[in-house]
Amino acid sequence: MRVLGLALLLLGIGQAAPARAVDGDQVKALCMAGFNAAMGAAGKTPPAGMGEFTCTCFLEQVEAGSNIDQARSICRDKAAARYPVK
């Protein structure tokens, strides 16, 4: 679960940026880059689909009005429940 949290932390998206001002494709690309970097740094190979699931969740949460921390927490928990990483 810490690895996923780190991946989402590495997004690099400013907290003050309104969700509508952020391009969804850019958000997902940054999310995937952060996710992959965090997994690699932890020496973990994520299950197939975990990155896509997590980053889609994150984008949906932000677009629905969640702040960055809320979206990160919600999606970290959902991904951890769906994709156990050993």
**What's the mean pLDDT in 24-32?**
93
Looking at the structure of the chain, the number of domains it has is 1
| Secondary structure (3-state) at 58 | helix
Residue 6: closest CA among 53, 40, 45, 29: 40
Q: What is the pLDDT of residues 33-56, one digit of tens each?
A: 999 999 999 999 999 999 999 999
Domain that holds residue 72: 2-82
pLDDT band at 85 (very low <50, low <70, confident <90, very high): confident
Alpha-carbon span 7 to 14, nearest angstrom: 15
